[in-house]
Chain A
């Protein structure tokens, strides 16, 4: 019998990247036609790919003993044991005995925390940012597409960025779309960093609809904050109408909508208040504008960036709006003249639900440096750890499974040689869903190739 093949040609978009302003990370520049991005791998070594262990693991229980355990959900346990069985945390405590037959890992002098959760990255949807457009799926120039854009459809479990990030103790990541031609960017999803492909790697999808306000929103919608807000409201209004009158729309009995069917479908859970709208904005006035929008449509709002969040900290706390902040943000721009390294500390002290994020992809692994600096600039240590574990788990809606070391939760945990946020601390072991992850990365293999120059 003859098989029929569908050949999908992935054509380069030939798009031009936006110019980057001053003070940004290495800029992508325009995407030139790339040479084939062959993936060099030493022939003698196994690829630094996903682990081969099954999920959930079927082997013996694992007991990590004698460690200083920081469960996040409760006080630190000075000399405790964590037992992992079937991919879940089976026991945590000072007086827990390793079960018979368990693999025992003596972690005396070490610190154990939950795996860290990165809340805003493009891991898995971009391999190389500049000059290799075929490897970069973080944004779309299809002008008929916005809210429907779904990162899950681009996610590549084989990305070299995944192991590089994972070996630094990050076990889960919220992948957010980076740009469309609109204020609406599309849907973010939470992935595990096991290296598994979709659907196994998808923890929850979507976790939020992402939108830009402030300067970025204005830039994509006619050059004014006002037009961005108007287009956003228009899309939400259309989605409300579409949700109520779907049958009539199908029969072409409704007025035309500004966005297409795909976008409207994607927005329905947002206007129903089921899916959060995550708004990238920094200036205090833009944060307040986002809050008014959320009121108008009864949305669940999450603020991303929020460099001037501290200026309206009391309102954010009173309204229980979660905020995702990059701690190392202090260079004044007209989008955030009052940016300060004390933003996390001030927000946290005001009682705002605070998540910390790298907002980075290749160096999302530096989240612990970001957290360390948040502490150095006044944030409470426990709150800082919570801001990269339990708070993101709660805000992204997976706290029943993740974010703390509690019995029954997924066994995502990290064994650190010392203080997790100190720069000289080594990450010794990383477990995701109860499986110890390989420490191999493409970068480690490059190191070994050049350890001795012949």
Chain B
């Protein structure tokens, strides 16, 4: 939803027809390295740890009372009522405490709209063309954004960093582990697919319409998507023909970074994350996806998801939602607090997302509000299910659910120990593990990462 309503200074750029890609046109023969930006993440050192006597929400089954979980070699080795642990394991007595998988946010702008929120750090919206599929959030991320550390203190272990919603195609999103690093690559979640940020509705038509360029209307939005997908289909076809006829390097079709991203969606390698509020617009987007043969992985914000929850289920599309944001524009006017619960009860893929560096610190509280709203409306929702809105379902939407998102043997040991029921306003994340490594400990300042930016800024008494 992130949109910065700054006045443009580059009208000329804005009226360049979108059919003219900004991407650099390389000659067919130019070689390139396919994985130049791949993850350099290495798990932090960990030791074998067993957490005992905890109330465990695994996101993979019923609640476990007075259970144990063994973290070994960076993985969950065992979880259950009784767990054997090696003699040298660090034992944490979690009596009265709760354990959940690490929380995963499908929608964050940390790093691309970093703190401090000054002009110099507005790196989330390349508002120069309605189609900037060639940009990637990873190239805006400032790894020294202190917001990452605040989110870690809220139990966030992974999140997708997305470009903003000013454009029809905002660019690639990237999934990160929430660990300190000198580089974005050092945080990149190994093996996670890229996302493609698309945006419906008011934002793109306002940004470009106010410059008297296309899109200016919702129908202009749709024409823009279709034009781009048509071009991507043709690009993909030209590559297919080239490969089929021997893939002679001298005859390779010119590389086009913008179309390459869109073709990656058509190939199923890049996942579509579509900012969209209104029910009817989401259905339009489903129709466009059908026309061009791609899949929408998750709608984002989706304040009217409840109106089309049956269609979301039928099309296997997740909805990344707020617990209660509404009214800040007309397309958010019909937001209701039962939205998440209604999607869940329809057996949909309900996700609590933040889109906000404040909200990401307390996604567990957002889930609690959504659960309560469901209860008050008469729905039966167990904590063991609601925890999936924060963990397993976002992992699915980011294509990382095989390795994280639930506490099951063999999965990454991304684990949070909470001081009490995480659906309580008084609960705080006490310890956060990423790949079995203790990344945050509320009782130990040596286990509270602080980014460079914060260094030396706070008065000595200013411990947060």
A347 CB-CB contact with B under 8 Å: no
B327–A362 CB distance below 8 A:
yes
Count, A-B residue pairs, CB within 8 A: 184
A83 CB-CB contact with B under 8 Å: no
B462–A453 CB distance below 8 A:
no
B267, chain A: closest CB distance, angstroms: 33
B29 CB-CB contact with A under 8 Å: no
A426–B372 CB distance below 8 A:
yes
A334–B326 CB distance below 8 A:
no
B39-47, B116-124, B170-178, B404-412 - interface stretch:
B116-124
Interface string of B31-56 (1 = CB under 8 A from A): 00000000000000000000000000
State the CA gap A160–B330 with chains docked (Å). Answer: 13
State the CA gap A421–B328 with chains docked (Å). Answer: 25
State the CA gap A304–B453 with chains docked (Å). Answer: 27
B242 CB-CB contact with A under 8 Å: no
B330–A424 CB distance below 8 A:
no
B3–A369 CB distance below 8 A:
no
By beta carbon, the residue of chain B nearest A337 is B457
By beta carbon, the residue of chain B nearest A32 is B206
By beta carbon, the residue of chain B nearest A449 is B307
Q: A23-B113, A331-B150, A424-B368 are in contact. Are A453 and B310 (CB under 8 A)?
A: yes
A14-22, A239-247, A269-277, A292-300 - interface stretch:
A14-22
- Residue numbers in B under 8 Å from A20 (CB-CB): 4-5
Interface string of A322-355 (1 = CB under 8 A from B): 0000001011111001101110000000000000
B117–A128 CB distance below 8 A:
no
Interface string of B113-154 (1 = CB under 8 A from A): 111111001101000000000000000000000110010000
State the CA gap A330–B326 with chains docked (Å). Answer: 23
Q: A338-B458, A426-B372 are in contact. Are A362 and B326 (CB under 8 A)?
A: yes
A332–B457 CB distance below 8 A:
yes
A362–B328 CB distance below 8 A:
yes
State the CA gap A342–B147 with chains docked (Å). Answer: 17
State the CA gap A337–B330 with chains docked (Å). Answer: 34
A447 CB-CB contact with B under 8 Å: yes
B459 CB-CB contact with A under 8 Å: yes
Interface string of B87-119 (1 = CB under 8 A from A): 000000000000000000000010001111110
B328–A447 CB distance below 8 A:
no
Interface string of B308-330 (1 = CB under 8 A from A): 01100000000000001111111
- Residue numbers in B under 8 Å from A220 (CB-CB): none
B222 CB-CB contact with A under 8 Å: no
B115–A331 CB distance below 8 A:
yes
Interface string of A439-453 (1 = CB under 8 A from B): 000010011001101
Q: A332-B146, A423-B423, A447-B336 are in contact. Are A26 and B325 (CB under 8 A)?
A: yes
Q: A332-B146, A333-B115 are in contact. Are A29 and B325 (CB under 8 A)?
A: no
Interface string of A410-443 (1 = CB under 8 A from B): 0000000000011111100000000000000001
Q: A128-B333, A337-B457, A362-B327 are in contact. Are A27 and B5 (CB under 8 A)?
A: yes
B5–A450 CB distance below 8 A:
no
- Which of B328, B336, B342, B454 touches A443 (beta carbons < 8 Å)? B336
B223 CB-CB contact with A under 8 Å: no
Judged by DSSP, the binding face of A is: loop
B425–A372 CB distance below 8 A:
yes
State the CA gap A99–B146 with chains docked (Å). Answer: 59
- Residue numbers in A under 8 Å from B444 (CB-CB): none
State the CA gap A53–B339 with chains docked (Å). Answer: 32
A129–B423 CB distance below 8 A:
no
Q: A334-B116, A450-B307 are in contact. Are A130 and B202 (CB under 8 A)?
A: yes
Q: A21-B118, A332-B454, A447-B336 are in contact. Are A129 and B329 (CB under 8 A)?
A: yes
A129–B327 CB distance below 8 A:
yes
State the CA gap A130–B147 with chains docked (Å). Answer: 26
- Residue numbers in A under 8 Å from B376 (CB-CB): 426
- Chain B 182-229 interface residues, beta-carbon cutoff 8 Å to A: 202-203, 206, 209-210
- Which of A17, A331, A338, A421 touches B459 (beta carbons < 8 Å)? A338
- Which of A22, A328, A443, A453 touches B109 (beta carbons < 8 Å)? A22
A26–B332 CB distance below 8 A:
yes
State the CA gap A375–B202 with chains docked (Å). Answer: 38
A94 CB-CB contact with B under 8 Å: no
A256, chain B: closest CB distance, angstroms: 33
- Residue numbers in A under 8 Å from B398 (CB-CB): none
B206–A28 CB distance below 8 A:
no
B19 CB-CB contact with A under 8 Å: no
By beta carbon, the residue of chain B nearest A127 is B327
State the CA gap A311–B326 with chains docked (Å). Answer: 35
- Which of B6, B206, B327, B371 touches A128 (beta carbons < 8 Å)? B327
- Residue numbers in A under 8 Å from B7 (CB-CB): 16, 19
B440 CB-CB contact with A under 8 Å: no
A330–B206 CB distance below 8 A:
no
Q: A22-B114, A369-B425 are in contact. Are A131 and B330 (CB under 8 A)?
A: yes
- Which of A17, A128, A338, A366 touches B5 (beta carbons < 8 Å)? A17
B358 CB-CB contact with A under 8 Å: yes
Which of B1, B114, B338, B425 lies at the interface centre, i.e. has the most chain A CB atoms within 10 A of its CB?
B425
A363 CB-CB contact with B under 8 Å: yes
Which B positions have Cβ atoms within 8 angstroms of A?
A: 1-7, 109, 113-118, 121-122, 124, 146-147, 150, 202-203, 206, 209-210, 306-307, 309-310, 324-330, 332-338, 342, 356-358, 361-362, 365, 368-369, 371-372, 375-377, 423-428, 453-454, 457-459, 461-464
If A447-B377, A453-B309 are given as contacts, then 6 extra A-B residue pairs at C-beta distance below 8 Å, sorted by A number, are: A26-B328, A34-B330, A333-B117, A333-B118, A337-B457, A375-B425
Which A positions have Cβ atoms within 8 angstroms of B?
A: 16-30, 32, 34-35, 37, 127-132, 160-161, 311, 328, 330-334, 337-338, 340-342, 361-363, 365-366, 369, 372-373, 375-376, 421-426, 443, 446-447, 450-451, 453
